[in-house]
Amino acid sequence: MFHDNNDRDIFYSKMLQLVVPIVIQNLLSAAVNSADVVMLNYVGQSSISAVSLASNYAGVLFMVYYGLGTGATLLSAQYWGKKDMQAIRVIEGIALRFSMLITLLFSGFALFAPELMMRLFTSDTELIHIGAGYLRVMSFTYLCWGFTEIYLAILRSVGRVTIAMVLNVTAFSLNILLNAVFIFGLFGAPRLGAVGVAIATAVSRAVELIGCIVVSFLFSRDLKLNPIYMFISNKPLLKDFIQLALPALVNDLSWSVAFSMYSVILGHLGTDAVAANSLVVIVRNFGTVLCFGTASAGGILLGNVMGENDMERAKEYASKLLKLTVITGAIGGVLILIATPLVLHFAKLSETAMHYLKYMLLINTYYVMGAAVNTTLIAGVFRAGGDTRFGLICDSIDMWCYAVPLGFIAAFVLKLPVLVVYFLLCTDEFVKWPWVIKRYRSGKWLQNITRDDLFVKEDAH
């Protein structure tokens, strides 16, 4: 019994060490997005709507980085449990290779065909024009982002969450400051509105990349942000990365594109629906910060334990993590409920948009619980053991065979009211629960995915 209590204390102690910096990072990320919306609120509803729609493009790219990052994390976390630093460096190089290829593609479209990208989300000429200017500037930001997101994910996988947090805090704080400067024309700067938001983001991401390089050579010498890692060849690890990480990437990308389709559906239901949804996304991001941070931290901790080959302890930790998730999901719902009257008081939207905003926020008070449980199990617990294919199949069927068709039929065939369409879209997380919980109980995700003797035939420098 003493051992159980001691192990429980170790679990919560390690979770706290990982969760707090991750939650602070996620909070600041949400703060940057909300600062954009709050400041653009004073510029006009069109600017809010345009940036909100254009951000879906970056949202898809972020999910690419998240997929690659979590794929690299699930491998690195287990090799960290095994204390194999060389394998982790190779994994970083492989992830950077994929990241740069995809980033160049996204940056090219944002720079040379931004109007085409905006037309995917809206037919409004004014929103297309504003959003295209925003995307052009953001194309340079993506190149910095491609390096930093992978490196910070690798740092988190080996428990160096504080370094990652400090770098993010610096970038996000600078972003908020520069937002104010370029949106309102402070200190003699021109008033640039939506384009100002993009410039602020570009500068802060460049500073974050420089910070990553400096930190990696001063405080993390055994694990640098080093482009040379991209050219290290190791066929077994490349094979593992493709088999384990790419399903996670395709899963996140498929989910992200499907989730962007929600914005496409709402975007064609009018600017009031778009403006209301852009504020709802911000509030929901704050509401899910704690539960998503818990999922990330839990995945890292479970990976470390499975890399040590201690499957019984991994099973116990997963059970504790799920209970913790239910609590954090409930807290997220209460936070959205508390925030609702404040948001309604300060929002400067049309009367129709305000009506939508109120009820969309109320729907999200319970929606976060569905998202919390699924994210923890699919992106945390299952991925920690290399079980990435289940999430890909489950999410793809749920989003593309259920939620997206349901949304299109409700909006454009049945022509149901905006709030009914939104409610139907928000049933997607709960439809998955029976299959996700059944998979968790099966224990098929409990695996040690590390290899022995990876570098026996190679020069180990």
List of residues 6+ apart from 135 with CB closer than 8 A? 54, 57, 110, 114, 117, 118, 198
* pLDDT bracket for residue 1 (50, 70, 90): very low
More confident residue, 455 or 204: 204
User: Can you read off the two tokens belonging to residue 201?
Assistant: 């983001």
pLDDT digits (tens, 9 = 90+) for 299-354: 999 998 998 888 999 999 999 999 999 999 999 999 999 999 999 988 888 889 99
Q: What is the pLDDT of residues 257-285, one digit of tens each?
A: 888 888 889 888 888 898 898 889 888 98
146-163 pLDDT, tens digit each: 898 899 889 888 888 888
If you average pLDDT over every residue of the chain, what do you get? 86
In the block, tokens 């400041």 appear at 39
Q: What is the pLDDT of residues 39-79, one digit of tens each?
A: 766 676 777 777 777 777 777 788 788 888 888 888 999 99
Please give the backbone phi and psi of residue 322, each rounded to the nearest 5 degrees, phi first: -65, -40
Nearest Cα residue to 447 out of 291, 253, 247, 240 = 240
Amino acid identity for residue 298 in this structure: G
The closest of 305, 369, 40 to 183, measured between CA atoms, is 40
